[in-house]
Amino acid sequence: MKIQLKLGAAVAAFVLVVTPALAIAAHPNNGKHGSQSHSQANAKAFGKLCSKESKKHVAGGTATPFSQCTAAMKKAASGKANSPGQACKGMSKKHVAGMKGTPFSQCVVAAAHLLGDKGGSGTGTSTSTPASTTTG
Protein backbone atom coordinates (compact mmCIF):
# COMPACT_ATOMS: atom_id res chain seq x y z
CA MET A 1 0.00 0.00 0.00
CA LYS A 2 2.88 2.37 0.65
CA ILE A 3 4.12 1.88 -2.92
CA GLN A 4 0.73 2.85 -4.34
CA LEU A 5 0.63 5.95 -2.13
CA LYS A 6 4.14 7.00 -3.17
CA LEU A 7 3.39 6.31 -6.83
CA GLY A 8 0.19 8.36 -6.66
CA ALA A 9 1.98 11.27 -5.00
CA ALA A 10 4.74 11.14 -7.63
CA VAL A 11 2.21 11.16 -10.49
CA ALA A 12 0.29 14.06 -8.91
CA ALA A 13 3.48 16.08 -8.45
CA PHE A 14 4.52 15.35 -12.03
CA VAL A 15 1.14 16.51 -13.36
CA LEU A 16 1.27 19.70 -11.28
CA VAL A 17 4.72 20.55 -12.61
CA VAL A 18 4.29 19.56 -16.27
CA THR A 19 0.76 20.86 -16.98
CA PRO A 20 1.55 24.61 -16.67
CA ALA A 21 4.66 24.15 -18.81
CA LEU A 22 2.60 22.46 -21.52
CA ALA A 23 -0.01 25.21 -21.39
CA ILE A 24 2.66 27.90 -21.87
CA ALA A 25 4.28 25.95 -24.71
CA ALA A 26 0.94 25.56 -26.48
CA HIS A 27 0.32 29.35 -26.52
CA PRO A 28 3.69 31.10 -26.93
CA ASN A 29 2.20 34.52 -27.80
CA ASN A 30 0.14 34.91 -24.65
CA GLY A 31 2.78 37.13 -23.07
CA LYS A 32 3.33 40.82 -23.67
CA HIS A 33 6.42 40.25 -25.78
CA GLY A 34 4.51 38.72 -28.69
CA SER A 35 1.88 41.46 -28.90
CA GLN A 36 4.45 44.15 -28.20
CA SER A 37 6.70 43.10 -31.08
CA HIS A 38 3.66 42.96 -33.39
CA SER A 39 2.63 46.50 -32.44
CA GLN A 40 6.24 47.69 -32.85
CA ALA A 41 6.27 46.23 -36.36
CA ASN A 42 3.05 48.11 -37.15
CA ALA A 43 4.50 51.31 -35.71
CA LYS A 44 7.55 50.99 -37.97
CA ALA A 45 5.31 50.44 -41.00
CA PHE A 46 3.17 53.45 -40.09
CA GLY A 47 6.31 55.53 -39.62
CA LYS A 48 7.49 54.63 -43.11
CA LEU A 49 4.11 55.55 -44.58
CA CYS A 50 4.19 58.89 -42.76
CA SER A 51 7.85 59.65 -43.48
CA LYS A 52 6.96 62.69 -45.62
CA GLU A 53 5.23 64.38 -42.68
CA SER A 54 7.02 67.05 -40.67
CA LYS A 55 8.33 66.11 -37.23
CA LYS A 56 8.37 69.75 -36.11
CA HIS A 57 5.69 71.07 -33.82
CA VAL A 58 3.27 73.52 -35.39
CA ALA A 59 2.38 76.61 -33.35
CA GLY A 60 -0.93 76.05 -31.58
CA GLY A 61 -0.92 72.32 -32.30
CA THR A 62 -0.78 69.56 -29.73
CA ALA A 63 1.19 67.06 -31.80
CA THR A 64 3.47 66.96 -34.82
CA PRO A 65 2.01 66.16 -38.23
CA PHE A 66 4.09 62.95 -38.18
CA SER A 67 2.58 61.74 -34.90
CA GLN A 68 -0.92 62.68 -36.07
CA CYS A 69 -0.33 60.72 -39.26
CA THR A 70 0.84 57.60 -37.42
CA ALA A 71 -2.25 57.82 -35.21
CA ALA A 72 -4.40 58.08 -38.33
CA MET A 73 -2.67 55.01 -39.81
CA LYS A 74 -3.51 53.11 -36.64
CA LYS A 75 -7.18 54.12 -37.03
CA ALA A 76 -7.21 53.07 -40.66
CA ALA A 77 -5.50 49.73 -39.98
CA SER A 78 -7.79 48.85 -37.08
CA GLY A 79 -10.96 49.59 -39.05
CA LYS A 80 -12.02 52.52 -36.83
CA ALA A 81 -12.01 54.69 -39.95
CA ASN A 82 -13.85 53.69 -43.11
CA SER A 83 -11.83 55.83 -45.51
CA PRO A 84 -8.43 57.54 -45.69
CA GLY A 85 -10.07 60.96 -45.36
CA GLN A 86 -11.95 59.90 -42.25
CA ALA A 87 -8.77 58.54 -40.66
CA CYS A 88 -6.92 61.82 -41.28
CA LYS A 89 -9.77 64.24 -40.60
CA GLY A 90 -8.11 66.03 -37.66
CA MET A 91 -4.98 66.99 -39.56
CA SER A 92 -4.14 70.46 -40.80
CA LYS A 93 -5.13 71.47 -44.32
CA LYS A 94 -2.70 74.40 -44.36
CA HIS A 95 0.43 74.25 -46.51
CA VAL A 96 3.74 73.91 -44.69
CA ALA A 97 6.81 75.61 -46.17
CA GLY A 98 9.08 73.16 -47.99
CA MET A 99 6.50 70.38 -47.99
CA LYS A 100 4.61 69.09 -51.00
CA GLY A 101 0.91 69.20 -50.26
CA THR A 102 -0.66 69.62 -46.83
CA PRO A 103 -0.30 67.36 -43.81
CA PHE A 104 -3.88 66.21 -44.46
CA SER A 105 -3.25 65.35 -48.11
CA GLN A 106 -0.02 63.49 -47.31
CA CYS A 107 -1.84 61.52 -44.62
CA VAL A 108 -4.69 60.64 -47.00
CA VAL A 109 -2.19 59.33 -49.56
CA ALA A 110 -0.43 57.22 -46.91
CA ALA A 111 -3.74 55.86 -45.56
CA ALA A 112 -4.87 55.03 -49.11
CA HIS A 113 -1.68 53.03 -49.61
CA LEU A 114 -2.27 51.25 -46.31
CA LEU A 115 -5.89 50.41 -47.10
CA GLY A 116 -4.98 49.44 -50.66
CA ASP A 117 -2.39 47.01 -49.33
CA LYS A 118 -4.97 45.52 -46.96
CA GLY A 119 -7.59 45.11 -49.69
CA GLY A 120 -9.40 48.31 -48.74
CA SER A 121 -10.95 50.83 -51.05
CA GLY A 122 -7.66 52.64 -51.70
CA THR A 123 -8.41 56.18 -52.80
CA GLY A 124 -12.13 55.61 -52.72
CA THR A 125 -12.66 56.36 -56.41
CA SER A 126 -15.09 54.31 -58.40
CA THR A 127 -13.89 52.31 -61.38
CA SER A 128 -17.29 51.41 -62.74
CA THR A 129 -18.05 51.49 -66.44
CA PRO A 130 -21.08 53.17 -67.97
CA ALA A 131 -24.29 51.16 -67.70
CA SER A 132 -25.18 51.25 -71.36
CA THR A 133 -22.88 51.41 -74.32
CA THR A 134 -24.41 51.22 -77.72
CA THR A 135 -22.59 50.62 -80.93
CA GLY A 136 -23.77 51.77 -84.29
- Residue 32 identity (one-letter amino acid): K
- Determine the Cα–Cα distance for residues 19 and 17; give it in Å rounded to an integer: 6
DSSP notation for 9-78 = HHHHHHHHHHHHHHHHHH-GGGSHHHHHHHHHHHHHHHHHHTTTS--SPPTT-SS-HHHHHHHHHHHHHH
- The pTM of this model reads 0.54
- Residue 44 identity (one-letter amino acid): K
**pLDDT (tens digit, 0 to 9) for every residue of the chain, 136 residues total?**
688 878 877 777 777 776 666 666 665 555 555 555 556 677 788 888 888 888 888 777 788 888 888 999 998 888 888 889 999 988 888 887 787 888 889 899 988 888 886 554 444 443 444 444 455 4
